Amino acid sequence: MSGTPIVLADPPGPRGRRRILISSILALVVLAGLVTLALLRLADKGQLDGELWSVFVDQPDLRTLLWNGLLDTLRAALTAMVFAAALGIALALARTSRQWAVRIPATAVVELFRSLPVLMLILFAYLGLPALGWQLSAFWALVLGLTAYNGAVISEIFRAGIASIDRGQTEAASALGLRPLQIFRLIQFPQAVRRMSPTLISQLVTLLKDTSLGFVIAYSELLRSGRGAVEFLGSRYALPIYTAIAAIYIVTNGLLSALARWLDRRQSRRLGGRHAELPMDAAAATAALPEPSGPDSART
């Protein structure tokens, strides 16, 4: 990651070091200048006034509103995560089935859901299903749309994980007399999850971010709550309130990513020695993921 590009050139000598120092100072000056310019502009338009930013202290209702919005966001995200994981497992299993009558529809479903905007899937659940006679709340429409898209993506992640497992594992398992479903449950799935946990978690971060689409269908998640507050207090409050919302998302997602890193570290410690590089292999396999050509072509 870091420090690799050194091979591209000799380590910098005294002149190179001086040049790097000068560029650093120059870059710092330019960046600081840009920040100052932006701040001046904001101050000029009264965007940095104290009473704008103390709104979080002055208005306890605002804090409650955002807190409830965050809870609604987390509720939708967690529900969709559980459903998407279940759908992902089912689709991955179906796609690796030996029966074409199972495999082909599953492939079609995965490719379809993956090729559509999440917002279209949410709208389909919100507008289309009621037209077919199935009324459902904004919450469930959001969860359903997110489940459809993320289930398809997660199934691909599982599939890539399974493909990256040494084939001898499955062969040994079937030599021991395990049935395909047992092989999946006991041999392939646990290893795939372990290898794919970094990719899986980053997909969960994506899911969490996408819950903000709920504001389109009037689900009262964090962003929608913030928008309501800005409409109530006046558009002058757009900057402080949206900044707070962005910060909340960044912290929440950062916690999820930290969890991913922690899992990753714990796992490489546990596997230790020879297997320590396994997650890297899995990461390479996922590099081929998002495209339909499949993970099999990733490493040969």
Partner 1 sequence: MPPHRIGRSTARGSIAIDAVFDNLDIFAEGFRRTVGLSLFAAIAALILGTALAAMRVSPVPPLRWFGTAYVEIVRNTPLTVVFFFVVFVLPQVDIRFSYFTFAVVALSIYHGALVCEAVRSGINGVDLGQAEAARALGLTFTQTLRMIVLPQAFRNVLQPLGSVISALIRNTSIAAAFGVQELTGVVQRLTTANPDSVIAVLLGGVVAYLILTLALAGALALTERRVASAR
Residues of this chain that bind partner 1 (CB under 8 A): 1, 4-5, 7-9, 12, 20, 23-24, 27-28, 31, 41-42, 44-45, 47, 112, 115-120, 123-124, 126-128, 130-132, 205, 209-213, 215-216, 223, 226-227, 230, 235-236, 238-239, 242, 245-246, 249-250, 253-254, 257, 284, 287-293
Nearest distance from C-beta of residue 140 to partner 1, angstroms:
14
| Contacts (Cβ under 8 Å, ≥6 apart) of 6 | none
The distance of closest approach from Cβ of residue 105 to partner 1 in the complex, given in angstroms and rounded to an integer, is 17
Q: For residue 44, count CB atoms less than 10 angstroms from its CB and return exposed for 0-12, middle for 13-18, buried for 19 or more.
A: exposed
- Closer to partner 1 at the Cβ: 28 or 71? 28
Residue 136 to residue 215: CA distance in whole angstroms: 16
DSSP 3-state of 288? coil
Q: What angle do CA 162, 167, 171 make, to 5 degrees?
A: 115
Decide whether 19 or 266 has the Cβ nearer to partner 1: 19
Task: Tell me the closest approach of the beta carbon of residue 99 to partner 1, in angstroms.
Answer: 26
**Which C-beta is closer to partner 1: that of 2 or that of 99?**
2
Question: What's the min distance (Å) between Cβ of 291 and partner 1?
Answer: 6
Nearest approach, Cβ of residue 142 and partner 1 (Å)? 13
Given a contact cutoff of 8 angstroms between Cβ atoms, the answer to whether 207 and 81 are in contact is: yes
How much of the chain is in helix, strand and coil states, percent to nearest 5? Answer: 85, 0, 15
Distance between CA atoms of 145 and 126, rounded to whole angstroms?
9
* 20 vs 176, beta carbon nearer partner 1: 20
Nearer to partner 1, 181 or 250 (CB): 250
Smallest CA-to-CA distance from 94 within 162, 140, 146, 45 is with: 162
Of residues 5 and 272, the one with the C-beta less far from partner 1: 5
Least CB distance to partner 1 at residue 205 (A): 7
